C-alpha cells in the first residue's frame, strides 16, 4: 500500500475529492487502512478512526496531502462515540467499517456473543449516521459506504455470527437508502477473499477446527475464485472511492461485490 503504488496504479483518483472530509472507521489496518490512503490520494481530508493510536499515527504519516488526522474511537462505546464526533465539523463521507467477530458454528454462540459485534457494527454505524447526516445535508453532499461481506448474499460456512451481523447491516442500509435526503447516498461494499490479517486469522481458525493446513484452507478458497488470487485491499478501496465521487449520486442502496468473481449469485 505504498504511496508509489497508489500513484501509479490508481491515478484516476488524485484530487477528485478535494474539499471533502472523510471519516474512516477501522482505519488502522486492512481494507480500512487502504480506504483511508485512497481517499487521501483522491484529495479528501481524512479523519482516520480506530482504537490503535500507534497504527493510526503511522497511517496519517503515510497519507498524501495535508490536514489529515486521527481520532481514537472504540466503536462499541456508543456514548463516547457520540461525544467524540460532536465537534468534528463538516463531514461529507462516512466509511462504516470494523473487524468481524470470531469464526465458528453459529450454534456455539450464546446470545451474549452477539452484543459486542452488533455494537461495533450496526449500533456504531447507526449512531454515526444519525449524527453526521444533518451536517451532510447542510453541506449539500453526503456519501455513506459500509464495508460488510459477500455473506449477505451467500452465507459463508463457519462464520455464522458474522453472516447474521452482515445481513442486518445490509437491511439497515437498504432501508436508509429510502429515507435519506436526496443529496446523501448510502451503499455497501461486499469484500471477498481479501489479502488482510483478518483473512489470515480466519484461515487459522478453520485450520484448527478441520486439521487442514492454512495453505490448504487458502487453496480451497482460491478454487472458487475465478481470478485465482486474493483481492488487494487497494482494489476494494478503489471501489469505495468511486461510490464517494460527486458523480456517483445516482448509485444508492446497492451492494457491490469486490470478490474476484467468487459469488455465483446474480
Is 44 within a domain? Answer: yes
Taking the model in full, what pTM does it have? 0.92
Read off the pLDDT band of 119 (50, 70, 90): very high
44, pLDDT greater than 70: yes
Rounded CA gap, 133 and 139, in Å?
Answer: 10
Rounded CA gap, 134 and 131, in Å?
Answer: 7
pLDDT at residue number 13 = 62
Read off the pLDDT band of 144 (50, 70, 90): very high
pLDDT at residue number 9 = 62
Is 204 within a domain? Answer: no
Mean of pLDDT values over 245-259: 96
pLDDT at residue number 226 = 93
Is 212 within a domain? Answer: no
- Higher-scoring residue by pLDDT: 222, 90: 90
Rounded CA gap, 235 and 240, in Å?
Answer: 9
pLDDT at residue number 80 = 92
Say how many domains are in the chain. 1
Is 13 within a domain? Answer: yes
pLDDT at residue number 47 = 98
Is 217 within a domain? Answer: no
Mean of pLDDT values over 46-55: 94
pLDDT at residue number 206 = 72
- Higher-scoring residue by pLDDT: 3, 218: 218
Q: What is the CATH number of the domain that holds 73?
A: 3.40.50.720
Mean of pLDDT values over 219-233: 88
109, pLDDT greater than 80: yes
Is 23 within a domain? Answer: yes
Length of the chain: 266
What average pLDDT does the chain have?
91
pLDDT at residue number 143 = 98
Read off the pLDDT band of 1 (50, 70, 90): very low
Give the structural domain span for 88: 3-195+231-258
Read off the pLDDT band of 123 (50, 70, 90): very high
Is 72 within a domain? Answer: yes
In the numeric block, the cell 480500512 is attached to 32
Is 187 within a domain? Answer: yes
77, pLDDT greater than 60: yes
Amino acid at each position: 500500500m505504498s504511496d508509489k503504488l497508489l500513484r501509479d496504479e490508481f491515478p484516476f483518483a488524485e484530487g477528485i475529492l478535494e474539499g471533502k472530509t472523510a471519516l474512516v472507521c477501522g482505519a488502522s489496518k486492512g481494507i480500512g487502512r487502504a480506504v483511508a490512503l485512497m481517499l487521501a490520494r483522491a484529495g479528501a481530508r481524512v479523519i482516520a478512526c480506530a482504537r490503535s493510536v500507534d497504527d493510526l499515527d503511522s497511517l496519517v504519516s503515510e497519507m498524501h496531502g495535508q490536514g489529515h488526522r486521527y481520532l481514537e474511537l472504540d466503536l462499541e462505546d456508543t456514548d463516547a462515540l457520540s461525544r467524540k464526533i460532536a465537534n468534528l465539523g463538516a463531514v461529507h463521507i462516512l466509511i462504516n467499517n470494523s473487524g468481524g467477530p470470531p469464526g465458528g458454528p453459529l450454534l456455539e454462540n450464546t446470545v451474549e456473543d452477539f452484543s459486542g459485534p452488533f455494537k461495533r457494527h450496526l449500533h456504531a454505524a447507526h449512531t454515526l449516521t444519525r449524527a453526521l447526516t444533518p451536517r451532510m445535508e447542510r453541506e449539500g453532499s453526503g456519501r455513506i459506504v459500509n464495508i460488510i461481506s459477500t455473506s449477505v448474499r451467500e452465507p459463508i460456512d463457519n462464520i455464522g455470527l458474522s453472516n447474521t451481523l452482515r445481513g442486518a447491516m445490509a437491511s439497515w442500509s437498504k432501508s436508509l437508502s429510502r429515507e435519506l435526503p436526496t443529496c446523501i447516498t448510502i451503499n455497501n461494499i461486499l469484500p471477498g477473499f481479501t489479502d488482510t490479517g483478518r483473512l489470515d486469522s480466519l484461515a487459522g481458525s478453520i485450520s484448527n477446527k478441520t486439521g487442514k493446513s492454512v495453505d490448504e484452507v487458502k487453496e480451497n478458497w482460491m478454487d472458487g475464485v475465478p481470478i485465482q488470487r486474493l483481492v488487494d485491499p487497494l482494489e476494494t478501496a478503489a471501489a469505495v472511492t468511486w461510490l464517494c465521487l460527486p458523480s456517483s449520486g445516482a448509485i444508492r442502496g446497492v451492494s457491490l461485490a469486490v470478490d474476484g468473481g467468487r459469488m455465483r449469485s446474480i
